[in-house]
Amino acid sequence: MLALRPNCECCDKDLPPDSAEAMICSFECTFCRTCVEEVLHGVCPNCGGGLVARPIRPAGKLKAYPPSTERVLKAGGCSA
């Protein structure tokens, strides 16, 4: 199950579980669409894998399967 991390690892922008902006790699490194497009160019800076749009968990499932509250920030940020 996806953790649904609450923020972008690059810019710390909030990415709630219903955000259409959240993008993830296969390890679930999580970034916002702006960073993916303008800084990362579609490649995860941690693992080198591709980034795809994170699926949105239906609101009715969030109570039983709540999103992660642990904010992950990439040390040193994400410079191009």
Minimal distance in Å, beta carbon 74 to Zn ion? 10
Phi, psi of 34 (to 5 degrees): -60, -45
The helix or strand, by DSSP H or E, that contains position 22, with its residue range, turns out to be: strand 22-24
Considering only 4, 6, 10, 19, the residue that binds Zn ion (CB under 5 A) is 10
Stretch in the footprint of Zn ion (CB under 5 A) among 9-17, 53-61, 69-77? 9-17
| Whole-number Å distance between alpha carbons of 24 and 27 | 8
| Whole-number Å distance between alpha carbons of 62 and 39 | 31
Kindly state whether residue 23 participates in binding Zn ion, applying the rule CB under 5 A. no
Kindly state whether residue 78 participates in binding Zn ion, applying the rule CB under 5 A. no
Residues 30-69 that bind Zn ion (CB under 5 A): 32, 35, 44, 46-47
